[in-house]
Amino acid sequence: MPRPLSATIHLDSMKHNLARARACAPTARIWAVVKANAYGHGLERGLRGFAEADGMALIETDNAVRLRELGWTKPILLLEGIFDGSDIELLTEHNLNSTVHCIEQIKMLEYTRLSRPIDVHLKMNTGMNRLGFRPDEFGAAHARLRAIPGIGNITLMTHFANADELDNPRLSVREQVRRFQLGADGLAGERSLSNSGGVLQQALLSEALSNDWVRPGIMLYGGTPGETAAADYKLLPTMTLASEIIGMQQLQAGDTVGYGSRFEASGPMVVGVVACGYADGYPRHAPHGTPLLVDGVRTTLIGRVSMDMLTVDLTAVANARVGSKVVLWGDGLPIDAVATAAGTIGYELMCALAPRVRVREAALGQSA
């Protein structure tokens, strides 16, 4: 028998979450973001789960080509654009859209004779200060792109730093929209502003957000970029990491658990050992109190997470036994709740899933 740890991918939940994104931004077309191997879910599963999207967006040029090989015929967007002049041939050969965020990328396009037209997304830095042209540089960058033979549509885009906090005192979404409108004033082209946070807040920003395209990422996988629970947005978990109890120990007051003896029992208790550890992608830094489900009962992690195992308090779980089912995150236990307890974000947990974890597919609520 294989080790009892497995990750179940819920394609029906992926389809549901895509529909929720469309309901939030009904007038916009959707780029389903499938970077980082579809946030750890698998590129092929992302392709099937988000088949109704209007386009796929990702970072990796090889995976963009892979999407074409898998039969995706709709648009594909490279969110960081090209990294070398030789990548331009991939754009034309596979009909890929490319983000343009710096003058060096414009020069690459100027120095290359395009064998067929390509569409680009010109990125404005409205305060995120990662990639993009400042608002006062944006018009000149747009003019240089427009002058290149073979450049087709130019979409104007930006990226929100605090879309989950509309009125963040340091940089509000409204301020970023103001800067975008200032830099894009008078320029032709479709607009693409909203990431997951912007999509989820679309109703509150309907007057300010004029999106032709939106770029949801984490919300498609059942997570949120802020503190609001995914369930409050009617999002469903798309990945359930589950295992079993493989051993049990009876502890007395003063007994300790795990490396470093970080946890000490205050009285009699039952401890379960779960077949999952940091080599599987579970966060090693998860502290005592991180939630888990054992036979559907919510309980907590105790002791330090090991490479292949972790330990859980079974005292309040009636009839717990070797073989009891454990949900690390997913169906019945939001990944964001686990991530928050561990001081990280759901994105990291999804993307950290290790290759040795068996992956399967099932409808949400079906047995893994």
Catalytic residue numbers read 35, 259
CA 102 to chain CA centroid, Å, is: 25
Alpha carbon distance 325, 343 (integer Å): 25
Bridge partners (DSSP) listed for residue 57: 33, 77
Rounded to 10 degrees, the C-alpha dihedral 276/277/279/281 comes to 80
CB 364 within 8 A of CB 331: yes
How many Cβ atoms from other residues are within 10 Å of residue 90's Cβ?
A: 18
Tokens encoding 21: 């994104």
The answer for residues whose C-beta is within 8 angstroms of residue 125's C-beta and 6 or more apart is 131, 132, 133, 134, 135, 158
Length of the chain in terms of residues written = 368
Tell me if residue 333 falls in helix, strand or coil. strand
CB 326 within 8 A of CB 17: no
Give the closest residue to 241 by CA, choosing from 1, 9, 3, 2. Answer: 9
CA distances from 106 to 82, 123, 144 (A): 10, 12, 8
Please report the beta strands in the chain, taking only residues with DSSP state E, as ranges in sequence order: 6-9, 29-33, 55-58, 76-78, 97-100, 118-123, 151-157, 191-192, 213-214, 239-251, 256-257, 263-264, 269-274, 291-294, 297-302, 310-313, 325-329, 358-361
Bridge partners (DSSP) listed for residue 120: 98, 154
The one-character DSSP state at 2 is -
